[in-house]
Amino acid sequence: MGKITVETCEIEGLKIITPSVFGDQRGYFMETYNYNDFKEAGIDQVFVQDNQSASRKGVLRGLHFQINFPQDKLVRVIKGEVYDVAVDLREGSKTFGKWHGELLSAENKKQFFIPKNFAHGFLVLSDEAEFCYKCTDFYHPNDEGGLYYADPEIGVTWPIPEGMELILSEKDTKWSGLSAYLKERAAK
């Protein structure tokens, strides 16, 4: 292996990947994804879609998930800095409802692997950020679910600097919390 370093988190399945960066006077080179290296590190997924978004400081996207067509995601930042969060929604998981946050930036070049059945979101901390991610299933617009980003039951500690005004989509202001999500899931 050697081209990537993989760290695990307190929540099983989440992984932080740091690529080897080779630099000289011209700049740098790194492999952002190599199936063989990732497979050797225990991430043996086939990614079928790549997405990219641009956001400005204070944008908070999430916490989103796909209901019937869950996706593994490999996320990274190519410009700026974000605080990226994953919330465990795996049925029967000993860490159900727990979250992990990771600072991702163009500078640290870290990637965050988030398995299926996690809610995901991020907060832009730099003036601008470009966010890229690979998915193992296609996006199904009528299959999107979400959790309220500030649900006290989940308790994400977003690093919101004093004076930062959050910018959320209308749908992200209307998601319910974990208890409502569990009631809805039990009713199905």
Q: Which are the catalytic amino acids?
A: 64, 133
Q: What is the dihedral of CA 68, 69, 72, 75, to 10 degrees?
A: -100
Alpha carbon dihedral 149, 7, 21, 3, in 10-degree steps, equals -130
The half-sphere exposure of 92 on its side-chain side, counting CA atoms within 13 A, is 0
CA atoms of 148 and 74, how far apart (whole Å): 22
